[in-house]
């Protein structure tokens, strides 16, 4: 199973308390949600340090007796948004940064000694937050080129926060390049809401916006190994009434995406 999830540092209308208690409570909830889903491979976007990844891994083990090896795209550097990775049986894999990936927000996973096994890439593309869409889109396309150059024609699962909509140039680039968007396929199993959105934001005027920025894509050659794909509707926010003001009121502005494969 592969699970990309966004661990947001700032989210919508909710203020973020930056105390150690608030951060550790937040990361413990992240660990709880991952443990409940029990993925074999889990990528986390917007992680700030290797220490945070260790904290999540340790708490999963404490709560669920499940051991994960942990990795971080920025190594021992902290204070930058990077990509985290949790792996069961990490000794069976090689993990590396994707070369030439702008902002160092991508990790590649290869199974040791099994050359036919699909490679897995978890990434977080550059945001469009600065509204310079033409420039940002070109940078996103460059990041995708770095990822597909690393894949180098091997069967692959490529997942994460692409920071762009279905039908955008980066997403079309992947589909035109032979990848299947599992949420836009017959492998997708919707929840009772029937929604396919993964990101929620609230404007200053209080307007709720739901869009999809998160994807799990697979090479056509391994499409049939994907059994199902799910947007996991975890509880994202605390009720305003009675919420502890010392703690965060939102886990993330994204919902995790889960895919199940038979390899």
What is the C-alpha to C-alpha distance for residues 82 and 106, in angstroms, rounded to an integer? 8
Q: Does residue 18 lie within any of the structural domains?
A: yes
Q: Does residue 104 lie within any of the structural domains?
A: no
Does the structure show a pLDDT above 60 at 235?
yes
Q: Bridge partners of 86?
A: 42, 70
pLDDT in tens, 174-195: 999 999 999 999 999 999 889 9
What is the C-alpha to C-alpha distance for residues 120 and 196, in angstroms, rounded to an integer? 23
Do the Cβ atoms of 119 and 102 come closer than 8 Å?
A: no
Q: Does residue 116 lie within any of the structural domains?
A: no
Q: Does residue 132 lie within any of the structural domains?
A: no
Q: Does residue 69 lie within any of the structural domains?
A: yes
Confidence band of 76 (pLDDT split at 50, 70, 90): confident
Which residues have C-beta within 8 Å of that of residue 193, sequence separation ≥ 6?
Answer: 233
Q: Bridge partners of 211?
A: 199
What are the CB-based long-range contacts (under 8 Å, 24+) for 173-177?
173/141, 173/144, 174/144, 174/215, 174/217, 175/217, 177/148
Instruction: Provide the Cα torsion 195, 235, 62, 40; round to 10°.
Output: 10
Does the structure show a pLDDT above 70 at 200?
yes
Q: Does residue 256 lie within any of the structural domains?
A: yes
Q: Are strands 82-87 and 226-231 parallel, antiparallel or unpaired?
A: unpaired
Q: Collapse the DSSP code of 38 into the 3-class scheme (helix H, G, I; strand E, B; otherwise coil) and give the result.
A: coil
Q: Does residue 54 lie within any of the structural domains?
A: yes
* Token pair 């003001």: residue: 245
What pLDDT is attached to residue 9?
43
Split into its structural domains, the chain has a count of: 1
Region 21-27: what's the mean pLDDT?
87
In the chain, % of residues over pLDDT 70: 87
Quote the domain boundaries for residue 217.
2-89+157-261
What is the C-alpha to C-alpha distance for residues 39 and 37, in angstroms, rounded to an integer? 6
What pLDDT is attached to residue 43?
97
What pLDDT is attached to residue 13?
43
* CATH number for 61: 3.60.10.10
Does the structure show a pLDDT above 70 at 2?
no
Q: Does residue 103 lie within any of the structural domains?
A: no
What mean pLDDT, rounded, does the chain reach?
Answer: 89
What is the C-alpha to C-alpha distance for residues 238 and 177, in angstroms, rounded to an integer? 41
What is the C-alpha to C-alpha distance for residues 46 and 43, in angstroms, rounded to an integer? 10
pLDDT in tens, 122-171: 999 999 988 888 999 999 999 999 999 999 999 999 999 999 999 999 99
């Amino acid at each position: 199973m592969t699970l990309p999830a966004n661990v947001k540092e700032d989210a919508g209308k909710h203020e973020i308390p930056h105390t150690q208690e608030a951060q550790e409570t937040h990361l413990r909830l992240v660990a709880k949600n991952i443990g409940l889903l029990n993925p074999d491979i889990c990528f986390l976007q917007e992680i700030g340090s290797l220490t945070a990844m260790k904290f999540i891994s340790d708490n999963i083990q404490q709560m669920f007796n499940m051991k994960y090896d942990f990795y971080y795209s920025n190594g021992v550097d902290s204070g930058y948004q990077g990509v985290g990775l949790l792996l069961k049986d990490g000794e069976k894999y090689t993990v590396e940064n994707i070369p030439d990936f702008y902002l160092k927000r991508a990790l590649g996973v290869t199974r040791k000694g099994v050359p036919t096994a699909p490679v897995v890439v978890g990434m977080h593309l550059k945001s469009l937050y600065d509204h310079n869409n033409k420039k940002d889109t070109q940078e996103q396309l460059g990041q995708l080129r770095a990822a597909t150059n690393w894949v180098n024609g091997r069967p692959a699962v490529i997942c994460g926060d692409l920071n762009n909509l279905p039908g955008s140039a980066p997403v079309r680039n992947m589909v035109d390049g032979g990848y299947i968007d599992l949420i836009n396929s017959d492998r997708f199993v919707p929840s009772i809401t029937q929604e396919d959105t993964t990101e929620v934001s609230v404007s200053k005027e209080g307007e709720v916006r739901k869009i999809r920025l998160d994807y799990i894509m697979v090479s056509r050659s391994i499409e049939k190994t994907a059994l199902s794909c799910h947007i996991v509707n975890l509880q994202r926010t605390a009720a305003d009434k009675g919420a502890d003001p010392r703690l965060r009121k939102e886990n993330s502005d994204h919902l995790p995406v889960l895919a199940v494969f038979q390899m």
